[in-house]
C-alpha cells in the first residue's frame, strides 16, 4: 500500500524561471551577497572565474511562485566579455559597488553602458544599484550614489551588508517586484 503524503510538493516543471544578473567590479561582494541571500550563510568567497549560478524559489506579492535564476558574473576585466552573450533573457540586473572602495564606484558608468549596450530603450531591463559592505567605513556617500542612480535612470539604490546581514533580501525582492507586478497571479 502506498503511504500518504501530507505535503503539497511544488511541481517545479510549471514554475516560471526568472533570470537576473549580478554584475560589478571584482571583489565588490557579488558572490557573497548571492550566497547570503540563497543559503542564509556568510562565508569567504574566492574570486569568481567566469560565471557562477545560483537559484532560489520565491513567492511574489501576487502569490505566484517563481524561481529566481541568478547569474553571477566574475568582475575581473577578462570576464567582461561574457556579459553581452550571457545577458540574453535576463529580466533584471543588480549592479554592485563596494561602499568602502571608491574605485568601484567611479567605474559604474561603464557597467551601466555594458548592461544596456545593444538593447533599444524599450528592451531595457530594470537595474538596481547596490552599495555593498555598508558595515565597513564608508568612502562613498549615499547622496552621491543616489544622484548617480537618478542621472543614469537606474531603478533604485539600496545599501547592503552580507556580513552584518543588512538588507540582503531587499535588492532581489525589489527587482522581482519590478519584473512580476503584484497583480500577476497563477
Ligand X SMILES: Nc1nc2c(ncn2[C@@H]2O[C@H](COP(=O)(O)OP(=O)(O)OP(=O)(O)O)[C@@H](O)[C@H]2O)c(=O)[nH]1
Binding-site ranges for ligand X (CB under 6 A): 26-32, 44-45, 47-48, 74-76, 132-133, 135-136, 161-163
Q: How far is the CB of 109 from ligand X (least distance, A)?
A: 18
Please report whether residue 104 would count as binding Mg ion according to CB under 5 A: no
User: Concatenated DSSP letters for the chain?
Assistant: -PPP--S----GGGSEEEEEEEE-STTSSHHHHHHHHHHS-----PPP-SEEEEEEEEE-TTS-EEEEEEEEE--SGGGTTHHHHH-TT--EEEEEEETT-THHHHTHHHHHHHHHTT--GGGPPPEEEEEE-TTSPP-S-HHHHHHHHHHTT-SEEEE-BTTTTBSSSHHHHHHHHHHS-TT---
Q: Min. distance of Cβ 154 from ligand X in angstroms? A: 18
Max CA distance (Å), the chain: 66
Per partner kind, with CB cut-offs from 5 to 8 A, the member of ligand X, Mg ion, none near residue 140 is: none
Regarding 48 and contact with Mg ion (CB under 5 A), the answer is: yes
162 in contact with Mg ion (CB under 5 A): no
From Mg ion, ligand X, none, interface partner of 32 (C-beta below 5 to 8 A by class): ligand X
Residue (48 or 60) nearer to ligand X, CB: 48
Minimal distance, residue 33 CB to Mg ion, in Å: 9
Q: Is residue 161 part of the contact set for Mg ion (CB under 5 A)?
A: no
Query: Closest separation between CB of residue 17 and ligand X, Å?
Result: 22
CB-nearer residue toward ligand X: 42 or 67:
42
Amino acid at each position: 500500500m502506498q503511504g500518504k503524503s501530507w505535503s503539497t510538493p511544488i511541481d517545479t516543471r510549471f514554475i516560471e524561471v526568472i533570470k537576473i544578473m549580478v554584475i560589478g567590479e571584482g571583489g565588490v561582494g557579488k558572490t557573497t551577497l548571492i550566497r547570503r541571500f540563497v543559503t542564509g550563510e556568510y562565508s569567504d568567497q574566492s574570486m569568481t572565474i567566469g560565471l557562477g549560478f545560483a537559484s532560489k524559489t520565491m513567492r511574489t506579492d501576487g502569490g505566484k511562485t517563481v524561481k529566481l535564476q541568478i547569474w553571477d558574473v566574475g568582475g575581473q576585466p577578462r570576464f567582461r566579455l561574457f556579459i553581452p552573450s550571457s545577458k540574453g533573457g535576463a529580466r533584471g540586473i543588480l549592479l554592485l559597488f563596494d561602499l568602502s572602495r571608491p574605485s568601484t564606484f567611479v567605474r559604474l558608468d561603464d557597467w551601466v553602458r555594458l548592461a544596456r549596450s545593444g538593447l533599444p530603450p524599450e528592451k531595457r531591463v530594470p537595474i538596481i544599484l547596490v552599495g555593498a559592505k555598508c558595515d565597513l567605513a564608508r568612502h562613498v556617500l549615499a547622496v552621491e550614489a543616489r544622484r548617480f542612480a537618478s542621472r543614469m535612470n537606474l531603478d533604485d539604490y539600496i545599501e547592503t551588508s552580507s556580513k552584518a546581514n543588512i538588507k540582503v533580501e531587499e535588492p532581489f525582492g525589489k527587482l522581482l517586484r519590478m519584473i512580476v507586478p503584484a497583480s500577476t497571479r497563477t
